[in-house]
């Protein structure tokens, strides 16, 4: 549901010069931090084919968002840190390479005059997204567009009924940078959100109907298990 409004906001906000400057900043970050960028792929495949060096990352340019997946660099060891030519500050008790990249990117993006906000996402992602745009704003925009709702079989009056909606995600913890909670924040609090990761419910935002999937599997396998269980009912 994200793409249509996300792209319309993106295209209205950015000039071709801004888009080019944004990508130049990303290229500069890769050079300065001596990163080796690889295509996005499942982390298991990445570890099998690329390895576990913290400087090997996944770089995914989605147009309105660019993501660095710092798969191996969120908890650097002293030995790994000693091999770097730059400092990495402690964040929540860990040496997370994303923190150093994020701090540098804020300065570079400001100098370039590009309205992009770097944000931690998931367990090891650093997302570069349009300033002021999030999953919350994107979903809210979708829910106000009858022509978009019709493509998924909904009407404007349907979205006021919590029983017609459900959110699926795997990162809701407020303490650990969960971004899927922003989808829940775009909807009535009664709408059920299912977390397919084994997270502590005490870390979820208060006032929302967020539950942890109780099946045998988790993440995308958990979602498939859930969908099969619904089909069998």
Please, what is the average pLDDT of the chain?
88
d(CA 25, CA 106): 10
Hey, how many other C-beta atoms are within 10 angstroms of the C-beta on 225?
Answer: 15
Query: Which runs of consecutive H residues, i.e. helices, occur in 14-88?
Result: 16-32, 43-49, 78-82
Q: What is the CA 106 to chain-centroid distance, rounded? A: 18
- Beta strand 125-130 pairing with 116-121: antiparallel
Question: For the chain, which residues score pLDDT lower than 70?
Answer: 1-13, 134, 176-177
Q: What pLDDT does residue 76 have?
A: 97
* Closest to 37 (Cα-Cα) out of 66, 22, 14, 57: 57
Q: What's the pTM?
A: 0.68
Q: What are the phi and psi torsion angles at 30 (to 5°)?
A: -60, -40
Q: What pLDDT does residue 13 have?
A: 61
d(CA 223, CA 169): 9
Q: Can you give the residue ranges of every domain in the chain?
A: 3-130, 162-232
């Amino acid at each position: 549901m994200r793409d249509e409004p996300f792209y319309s906001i993106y295209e209205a906000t950015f000039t071709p010069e801004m888009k080019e400057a944004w990508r130049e900043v990303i290229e500069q970050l890769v050079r300065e931090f001596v990163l080796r960028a690889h295509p996005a792929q499942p982390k298991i495949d990445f570890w099998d084919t690329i390895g576990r060096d913290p400087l090997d990352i996944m770089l995914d340019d989605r147009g309105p968002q660019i993501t660095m997946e710092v798969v191996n660099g969120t908890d650097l060891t002293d030995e790994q840190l000693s091999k770097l030519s730059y400092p990495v500050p402690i964040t929540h008790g860990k040496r997370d390479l994303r923190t150093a990249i994020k701090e540098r990117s804020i300065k570079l993006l400001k100098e370039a005059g590009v309205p992009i906000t770097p944000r931690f996402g998931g367990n090891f992602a650093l997302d570069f997204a349009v300033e002021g745009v999030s999953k919350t704003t994107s979903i809210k925009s979708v829910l106000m567009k009858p022509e978009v709702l019709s493509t998924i079989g909904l009407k404007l009056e349907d979205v006021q009924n919590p029983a017609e909606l459900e959110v699926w995600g795997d990162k809701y913890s407020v303490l650990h940078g969960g971004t899927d909670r922003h989808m829940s924040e775009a909807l009535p609090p009664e709408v059920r959100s299912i977390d397919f990761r084994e997270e502590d419910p005490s870390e979820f935002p208060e006032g929302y109907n967020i539950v942890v999937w109780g099946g045998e599997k988790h993440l995308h396998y958990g979602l498939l298990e859930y969908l099969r269980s619904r089909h069998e009912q």
